[in-house]
Chains A and B, each alone.
Chain A
Amino acid sequence: MGSPNVIVYARGQPCLSKFEGDEAHVQEHEGLVREAQQGDAEAFGKLYELFVDRVYRYVLLRVGNATEAEDLTQEVFLKAMQGLGAFQWRGRPFAAWLFRIAHNQVVDRLRRRQTGGGQVSLDDVLFLPSHDNVEAATLLALDQERLRDALERLTELQRQVVLHRFVGGLSLVETAAAMEKTENAIKALQHAALLSLRRLLLPEQRAKDWTER
């Protein structure tokens, strides 16, 4: 059984899985959470498979360090495991709850880094990509750096909405729940964030080529 959290290609354009943000998918999460709460390890494993990449991306683009991001991803799932018994659905999707944990972990780590004066090495930033093509890997790594640089220039709320919606793959409803905002507020925020990203990422023809690639 393949993971639903895979990149699918429609007409040659990459996009997030068709399941993400889907109501049926939210219900699937709910079922898995209930089974995991009753001690079903396999259900928790499925949840892990569904979210591990998305959490990792979210964390990585905040901390900028692959090793640190992996470490934080582990912490997020350990926290989720500890808090699973107390988690109650009550209209708040599991994804929103999980990304809230991720957000808190990132904030803690960045705060510690600021007070501890930790340095990030270039080797750590250039993480290993998911394929073996070195040339493409270099290009992607550069793109990731540009994306991260652009994200750093956004306002905190704009950055959060981009990270939740386009990096973490949360639906509008899930993003609203995770950020504790209304759906209309998220719509306005994502519009503003995309306008800012456009200014930051598309200042020249080369950037235009990049987006049309």
Chain B
Amino acid sequence: MNQTEFEHLLSDCLERLARGETVEDCLARYPQSAQELAPLLRVAQATLATAASLRPRPEARTAIQERLSRAWRERERKRRRALPLLGLLRPVLVALSLVLLLGFAGWGTAAASAGSLPGEPLYPVKKAGERFLLVITFSSEGKARRHVSLANERAKEMEVLVHQQKGDQDIEGLAQRVEHHTRAAVFLVAGEKTFTLATPATPEVPPAAPAPAQRQAPGPQPPPRPETTVAQGVASPSAATPTASPGVASQEGASGASPPPPGLARRERTRLEIQQLLRERARLHHTRMEQALGETPPPLRPGLRKALERSHQAFLEAVRELAEVEQKEREGLQEQLKEQDRPSQHKEGPQPRDRGPKEQPKRSSPGR
């Protein structure tokens, strides 16, 4: 018998001892190994017997029981206190889970709707998502950027629809939306002093195109719109909108002057940024639409071209109006600076135009 076999045999005997058999019973079961097993089993049994005599004192046993009872009661009290709280929180947790679930589902649907077109099932979801983003954008500049982005999106949809040669009605409607969004963007960054627009910031229905006189009322009458083709206007937007050039020129001319007041600077930056975006979009939109138009059957072209001109002009008009606003604000600022310069020549100390914006609060700081 090898050692492993003996170990199994010994283990079996130890299990039997633990189950109540005697050493003699085990030895009788394995007579061939009895001599080797006997001393080991007797030692095991002696150890078992000695250990079995060890017990905690009765008073110690009682003390442990009491201590455990106190601990158990405390534990149960804590558990009971925690359970009602969980019960109260359960509806809140369920509601939160549902909101998260719906949020993820909604997000998935919104993501899936991103490439949808008018007339497709997910298009209303896409529009709802856009409206939501507009609602949660609070600053005028942010809203203006969103409107520019939406104008771009509608223009892209037009391009795809024309390319796919479908949806005449939808294309016209999209052109109207481009017009609406570009006007809203201009209105939001134009400022109240020099620019007014008859339409609300985010009207659901695009308003009727206001008369040019209405939109340009505060400023001098711009030169009549050049009778260029759309292609010319795209090739050189500033040439198509001559008022844009003075705006840019004045901006460049004023760049060496004192910086604009801080409040104006951000709006001015946004305005320039939007102007740039709209100009770029006008060019792209025209190129793509012309390509798509070239592929459409000739009978459909007049209606589509009308829509294209409307959307393209909406971009260009917005660029022109922003340039006008820019020009007027520069002129107004220069006038203001001139007026400030005149009385300051009779006073001692630094001229107001040299005074930085940080020094201005000295006059208005309360309590000093």
Contacts and interface: CB of A to CB of B under 8 A. Distances in A.
Interface of A: 7-8, 10-16, 18, 20-22, 39, 41, 44-45, 48, 52-53, 56-57, 60-61, 66-67, 69-70, 73-74, 77-78, 81-82, 127-130, 140, 143-144, 147, 162, 165-167, 169, 171-172, 184, 187-188, 190-191, 194-195, 197-198, 201-202, 210-212
Contacts of B68: 44, 48, 74, 77-78, 81
Contacts of B75: 81-82
Contacts of A147: 47, 50-51
B64 interface: yes
Describe A's contact surface by its main secondary structure. Answer: helix
B47 A167 contact: yes
Interface string B67-105: 111011001100100000000000000000000000000
Given A53-B56, A81-B72, A212-B42, A15 B18 contact: yes
Contacts, number: 154
Interface in B111-169: none
A15 B17 contact: yes
The contact size tier of chain B is 35 or more
Majority secondary structure of chain B interface residues (helix, strand, loop or mixed) = helix
Choose among B7, B15, B50, B57 the residue with the greatest number of A CB atoms under 10 Å from its CB: B50
B67 A211 contact: no
B51 A78 contact: no
B53 A129 contact: yes
B52 A16 contact: yes
B1 to A, nearest CB: 13
Contact of B8 (A73, A77, A187): A187
Interface stretch (B20-28, B236-244, B269-277, B303-311): B20-28
A167 B11 CA distance: 16
6 contacts: A13-B23, A15-B48, A56-B55, A70-B56, A166-B44, A190-B14
Interface string B30-67: 00000000011011111111111111110011011101
B55 to A, nearest CB: 5
A196 to B, nearest CB: 9
Nearest to B65: A48
